[in-house]
A and B are shown apart, each in its own frame.
Chain A
Amino acid sequence: MKVVVVGNGMVSYKFCEKLLTRRLPDLSITVFGEEQYPAYDRVHLSELFNGKSTDDLCLAPVSWYKDNRIDLHLGDPVQYITPSVKLLQTFKGYVKHYDVLVLATGSSAFVPKINGMEKDGVFLYRTIEDLHLIKSYASRAQKGTVIGGGLLGLEAAKALLDLGISETHIIEFAPRLMPRQLDETGSAMLQSTLSSLGLTIHTQKNTAHILGGESVTGLAFTDGSTLDTDILIVSAGIRPRGELAADCGLETGMNGGIVVNEHMQTSDPFIYAIGECALYNEMTYGLIAPGYEMAEVAAGEIQHLHTGATTSSKLFTGFDMSTKLKLVGTDVASFGDPFAEGDNIRNIVLKDTNKGVYKRINVSADGKYLLGGILVGDASHYNILLQTSRNRILLPPHPEDIILPAREAKKEEGGGLAALPGDALICSCESVTKAAICQSVTEQGCETVDAIKKCTKAGTGCGGCLPMVKDLMVYTMKQQGKYIRNILCEHFDYSRQELFDLIKLHELKTYDTVLDRLGKGDGCELCKPAISSILSSLWNEMILQKGNDTAQDSNDRFLANIQRGGTYSVVPRIPGGEITPEKLIAIGNIAQKYSLYTKITGGQRIDMFGAHVSDLPLIWSELIAAGFESGHAYGKALRTVKSCVGSTWCRFGLHDSVSFAIRVEERYRGLRAPHKIKSAVSGCIRECAEAQSKDFGIIATEKGWNLYVCGNGGSKPQHALLLAADLDSETCLRYIDRFLMFYIRTADPLTRTATWLNKMEGGINYLRNVVVNDSLGMAAQWEQDMQQLVNAYQCEWKTAIETPEIRKRFAHFVNAPEEKDPTVTFETLRGQKKAGNWK
């Protein structure tokens, strides 16, 4: 039997996979795809702007099709079908006979009839190709606009922000955002949160035409107003791609969708349609879960046809449209019947404009069942609410409890998971039940989310269920008496946070006493740096004293970064990047004297490379005499606070960003943390100091400073999120004190703030609550702790050169301290030296 599939999108791939697992003999599968890429994860398309590559999104490589004997044709759309003789023809002229045809042509972005759509700089948001085009054009754009304030439009707007277009507008025809998912109050709450993130939202705007010559320059609206823009994304909805079906006489609906019955059969019994192109019961489904369900139904039907079985197979009976949106800095979800209202229905609403939270649930008149609801600003209960409504689980006597912010003491063990029946569908994309997930833990020994994903496929579709999968895993493991903790290494049975609290409680000051009191054995290169960092974060004593020197990571032990060949680099602190000519000259003289390679670093300071270990104290004596101090480039500590020139010179500057950067750098210099911490201060929203890529970044506003936290450069760049706006300098520092102390206390070893936040339940909203609203009641304590650390600061290089026992360690040969390591070699490059190559 010859099965031919038109389209190679997500649902087509899932269909092939499901058909293969049925292992039908004498079945050939051919797939025609219009796009150049084999099926990829469209749901996570936007992650192309967050460091993912097209390979990362690929669902299965071309070799997978080959290995499974699927004949795959990419870049070759099917052009017409002749159902009477079961033939089709492709763009490249290929003619193919089928026994069964499956249409999985998806949908395309809906393009409203507006003049000027053909201009350069106008894009759709649907395919990898679209995103590549947007990315290359966006580098030229300063202002961006998205037409469409629905699910996809908001995602596209976030993408523009991610691409660095900070002035981004959203145009919505309806009076509010996400009209299909949210009620009026929910939309209003979302709108105010998005505005505070820097998006400008225009509702009830009807675009008349697109302005510009060759390229877009703006939009004109029917009310006569206009808006300038350099780039435009049109995301005004989707249209099922039923044109191929319509051309060959299959029945299609109003919106172009291909009419199917509960077997996924079209009006021709040998042709099926699945995914976004299918119209079932006058509904098309723009989500992945129902598409996968249709793939399952169609695969079952074909098995039936093939084996001639007479029993009935699984039918498609519709799907609910519950969704959770992955937005910037805020959560949005709707589930079940979000709008249910009337005499038989009770609505419970929680609205907190202070935190930007709106929750609404619709409950049956007898108060027993949850019918649906809306969550804005805090969707942490989404999965459990969805399960409660889907499985018709009896509500507690006070249904409002389920949306109230969890009060620690009251939190029910397992967060209501116990009440879910075994057949509750946790992953609707892959149809994985609660029982299957629990079994993978108890029977197959899966103890990480990744293992469960591999074992059951749960969470491999849209990924929305992953938090719940993790909760289930933890819950099941706890029931088995297993307790999961991130212990440090074989010498300590504690997590970093537990050790931090214990060391503080017992006032331990050296690595050895910590090991004696709290650990076992003789330590190793994992626990030594971690404990040393905790000791330093707690007491801020000179790290090389009290026998703690050999418990330091090797760079900290020599207060410098080891380089190829075994020499070291020297980085004096240059707060805010500001330096006097005298100091520049001093650095030049010293570098010349000790023959060091010099380079301006990416952190706005000067690095001198190639110092022999025995020269380090001499170099530092001279640097200190010239007014420098350690830059801690070697430590998991505060690195640099970069600054832009700011209001003292810049014509746009709102405040003196250099002065504030210096103040911040001098406050936190020497502060050790689970990983390095970086900061920056910009004088206005043009953001020349790149503050939004830092662990904490500060940007001047008309009214004060905006404080952003948890950004990261490195291999997985992540923008910082707004923690608080328009702060005066003192408040800004107080919030940073609290933020840093919270991070230092709770992060795992070697975890940057971005990763720490990503793992934090409740995310930025929770963090904001802790830092700004003092929800843990720790703020005063943390500010006091920080002040003690600030007071205890000393330049560790100064102490090192003044303390003979420490200074004597800076020698290569213990029995010939004056001699340098003769195996060190250098080469010359552009008139300076460089390290000899690895051998």
Chain B
Amino acid sequence: MVHENETLVKTPQWITACRAEDVAENGGVCVKLGDQQIAIFYFTRRNEWYATQNECPHKKQMALSRGMIGTRNNVPKVACPFHKKTFSLLTGECLNGDECNIKTYPVKVEDGIVYIGVDDPPEEQFS
């Protein structure tokens, strides 16, 4: 299943993130990519995959992967575990009216492996 982020114009470079079976159903995990942290969500009910930055912009906490996911008016979103600020998984827009959006990444799953599309891949790769 592929979800393409429409705001990204450049063709991303696909990097191996983790095994699909290691991602919690209807939840998230955090992937280490060099010194970056990316949250991956498997919205099993909708059979959709999403990826965003792991850092919550509110208090700069590395926590979004531990947040609860859900929908509002059918828009998929994640709620930060700290103060429950919510962000659209489609656009990264903050849904509480604050001016702090998050970055989203395209994701694809092939043969049980999850790949994330990034612009500037880190030097070393993890699998």
Contact = CB atoms under 8 A, between A and B. Distances in A.
A777 interface: no
B60 A547 contact: no
B32 A819 contact: yes
A521 interface: yes
Contacts of A566: 61-63
Interface centre among A529, A566, A824 (most CB of B within 10 A): A566
B39 to A, nearest CB: 10
Contact of A550 (B22, B25, B72, B73): B25
A812 B39 CA distance: 11
A550 B24 contact: yes
Interface string B70-108: 111110110101101010000000000000000000000
B32 A823 contact: no
B31 A814 contact: yes
Interface in A797-839: 808-809, 812-816, 819, 821-824, 838-839
B26 A554 contact: no
Interface stretch (A186-194, A299-307, A557-565): A557-565
Contact of B70 (A512, A524, A823): A524
A553 interface: yes
B26 A550 contact: yes
Contacts of B59: 564, 838-839
Nearest to A812: B30
Contacts of A822: 35
Interface residues of B, number: 41
A26 interface: no
A607 interface: no
Interface centre among A553, A562, A812 (most CB of B within 10 A): A812
A815 B32 contact: yes
Given A523-B71, A550-B26, A814 B18 contact: yes
Contacts of A171: none
B23 interface: yes
A525 interface: yes
B51 interface: no
B69 A550 contact: yes
A558 B66 contact: yes
B18 A815 contact: yes
Contacts, number: 100
Nearest to B71: A522
Contacts of B63: 562, 566
Given A521-B71, A528-B68, A562-B82, A815 B61 contact: no
Given A809-B24, A819-B32, A553 B71 contact: no
Contacts of A515: 45
A204 to B, nearest CB: 61
Interface in A524-551: 524-525, 527-529, 547, 549-551
A838 B26 CA distance: 29
A774 interface: no
A527 B45 CA distance: 15
Contacts of B23: 814
B127 interface: yes
Interface of A is mostly: loop
B126 to A, nearest CB: 5
A814 B30 contact: yes
Given A554-B67, A554-B68, A813-B32, A565 B61 contact: yes
B27 interface: yes
B74 A821 contact: no
Contacts of B84: 525
Interface residues of A, number: 39
B27 A549 contact: yes
B66 A525 contact: no
Contacts of B46: 522
B14 interface: no
A529 B70 CA distance: 12
Given A549-B27, A819-B32, A523 B70 contact: yes
Contact of A562 (B37, B68, B81): B81
Given A558-B66, A565-B61, A550 B76 contact: no
Contacts of A549: 24, 27
A184 interface: no
A815 B67 CA distance: 18
B62 A813 contact: no
A823 B62 contact: yes
Contacts of B76: 522
Contacts of A450: none
B71 A814 contact: no
A489 to B, nearest CB: 9
B30 A554 contact: no
Interface centre among B62, B73, B84, B127 (most CB of A within 10 A): B62
A581 B31 CA distance: 43
A813 B30 contact: yes
A207 B25 CA distance: 75
B45 A553 contact: no
A819 B31 CA distance: 11
Contact of A547 (B26, B69, B71, B77): B26
A562 B84 CA distance: 13
Contact of A557 (B35, B66, B72, B86): B66
Contact of B31 (A490, A551, A815): A815
Interface centre among B23, B30, B67 (most CB of A within 10 A): B30
Contact of A838 (B18, B60, B67): B60
Nearest to A816: B32
A809 B21 CA distance: 12
B18 to A, nearest CB: 5
Given A512-B45, A550-B24, A815-B18, A490 B73 contact: yes
A525 B126 contact: no
A824 B60 CA distance: 11
Contacts of B62: 566, 812, 821, 823-824
Nearest to A512: B45
Contact of A813 (B24, B31, B79, B81): B31
Contacts of B68: 524-525, 528-529, 550-551, 553-554
A824 B37 CA distance: 13
Interface string B96-124: 00000000000000000000000000000
Nearest to B29: A814
Contact of A815 (B17, B66, B82): B17
B86 A816 contact: no
Contacts of A823: 37, 62
A461 B81 CA distance: 42
The 8 closest A-B pairs by CB, nearest first: A524-B70, A550-B27, A554-B81, A814-B29, A525-B79, A839-B60, A813-B32, A525-B68
29 contacts: A490-B72, A491-B70, A491-B71, A512-B45, A524-B68, A525-B68, A528-B68, A547-B25, A549-B24, A550-B24, A551-B26, A554-B67, A558-B66, A562-B82, A564-B61, A566-B63, A812-B62, A814-B18, A814-B30, A815-B31, A815-B32, A815-B127, A819-B32, A821-B62, A822-B35, A823-B37, A838-B59, A838-B60, A839-B60
Interface of B: 17-18, 22-27, 29-32, 35, 37, 40, 43, 45-46, 59-63, 66-74, 76-77, 79, 81-82, 84, 86, 126-127
Given A528-B68, A823-B62, 8 more contacts: A521-B71, A523-B70, A524-B68, A524-B70, A525-B70, A525-B84, A557-B27, A823-B37
